[in-house]
Amino acid sequence: MALERMSVAALTTAINEAGATWTAGVTSVSELSHEEKLFRLGAVPPAGESLEKREKLAAVNRGIRAATAISTAPSALDLRNLNGQNFITPVKDQRGCGSCVAFGSAAAVEGTFRRQRGNPNLAVDLSEAQLFYCIAKAQGMNCSTGWWCDRGLDAFKTDGVVDEACFPYTPGDQDCNLCADWQNRRTKITGWHEITSVAAMKEWLATRGPLSCAFTVYNDFFSYRSGVYRHVSDKVAGGHCVVCVGYNDEGGYWICKNSWGELWGDNGFFHIAYGESGIDATMWAVDGIVETGWLNNVRVIGLWTIDQDRNAWVYLVEADGGNIGWRRIAFDNDNIFIDILTCLASAKLTKGQVNAYQEDGVIKQVYVF
């Protein structure tokens, strides 16, 4: 079924007749051809899963507004304005390549990184190009085939992903062209998991960070400008991976960041109704960030240990007070473990400056001044 350009007037009528509350208009993608629209997507469920199945699963969430009654999450939350702080990185544009999974995954990790550090200004911009043109490509994927959301997070866990400057994104299949020192510039995650209940999704958003998610895009979605989206077109364009950054129980919607640039939707974001188009069938959570490299000019504010072999952790903060969080102390052997712990305990006592080298989140070397 061809994805024709939709008349704003006709679409507005259909929205009103359906009792939906969103506004349609000409957008940066609404006037694209059928083929060009498909390149704006790229979430393809693996064998055994389907967009239809996800829509049916999510449909039970329609109309849910009191789910927080059984959780401790607030009734509304927006990670762009959490007590006046914006933990969400800027909107990007995948343009003509079905690489949405790379964008949704990177955005989820970036936001989680900022939340983990408690630092909305943390400079983190991860390479969608490496995710898609190196890692997805090695799995046989390209701009036309798309990918699936959990594969993107898997890549962060197993391979790690470099910063944007190491391999900047441009649309279109291309060689894996990483910078020379790419191995030292990777960000990894400790793991990810799938969340299936709305209450748990809200809880995670409120306490840990954004969630990668996927939904079915109908042809009318390309014309979304604002409001709470519910599809009124029956023409399916395909699956799309985005990142969920908040929710609102009173309005009954999720807040999501898209990867179609700031000129689309509500400055690149959209609201989508609970249970709509499979959006909350499942979502994917980033468990935590592991890092490799130097943490310079940081301070120790906490220490922890337990009755297990070589298991001690240090809580680090940046000089400006930004959170770094718990890091495990190297546990190669007893004297390494004890030496590093002793140095860090000294640093805590004197409130001294610490330069620490971490490898996959484990402190391997420290200077204390």
Partner 1 sequence: MSETKPTVNPPSGHTAHTMTAGGAGTAVPTLTPSSKATAGGITAWDNKRVVGLWTINQNRNSWVYLADVGWKKLADNSDSAVVALSILAAHAKQAQTNCSYREDGDRIREIYVW
Residues that bind partner 1 (CB under 8 A): 301-313, 315, 325-326, 328, 331, 334, 337-338, 341-342, 345, 348-349
Comparing C-alpha atoms, which of 150, 161, 214 is closest to residue 189? 161
Options 61, 119, 219, 258, the catalytic residue: 258
CA angle 292, 298, 304 (to 5 degrees): 80
Residue 279 structure tokens: 């959006």
In whole angstroms, the minimum distance from the beta carbon of 308 to partner 1 comes to 6
Return the number of the residue (70 or 338) whose C-beta is nearest partner 1.
338
Which is catalytic among the residues 240, 244, 256, 271? 240
Q: Which amino acid is at 266?
A: D
Q: 289 - beta bridge partners? A: 189
Buried b (16+ CB within 10 A) or exposed e, 303-320: eeeeeeebebbbbbbbee
Selected catalytic residue, list 61, 97, 100, 231? 100
CB of 341 to partner 1, least distance (A): 5
Residue with Cβ nearer partner 1 (14 or 301): 301
Q: Considering beta carbons, is residue 244 or 363 the nearer one to partner 1?
A: 363
Cβ closest to partner 1, residue 310 vs residue 364:
310
Given phi > 0 = left and psi -120 to 50 = alpha, else beta, which region is 202? alpha
Cβ–Cβ under 8 Å, residues 366 and 340: yes
Active-site residue 258, yes or no?
Answer: yes
Least distance CB 207 / partner 1 (angstroms)? 11
**Least distance to partner 1 from the beta carbon of 87, Å?**
16
240 labelled catalytic: yes
Q: What gap in Å lies between CA 314 and CA 90, rounded to an integer? A: 31
When the beta carbons of 31 and 334 are compared against partner 1, the nearer one is: 334
Smallest distance from partner 1 to CB 76, Å: 21
Would you say 199 or 303 has its CB closer to partner 1?
303
Is residue 213 annotated as part of the catalytic site, yes or no?
A: no
CB burial readout 139-156, b (16+ within 10 A) else e: eebbbeebbbbbbbbbbb
**Residue 315 C-beta: closest distance to partner 1, Å:** 7
Report the chain's terminal Cα–Cα distance, integer Å: 67
Lateral strand order in the sheet of 312-318: 312-318, 323-329, 362-368, 354-359
CB 348 within 8 A of CB 361: no
Q: Which residues are catalytic?
A: 100, 240, 258
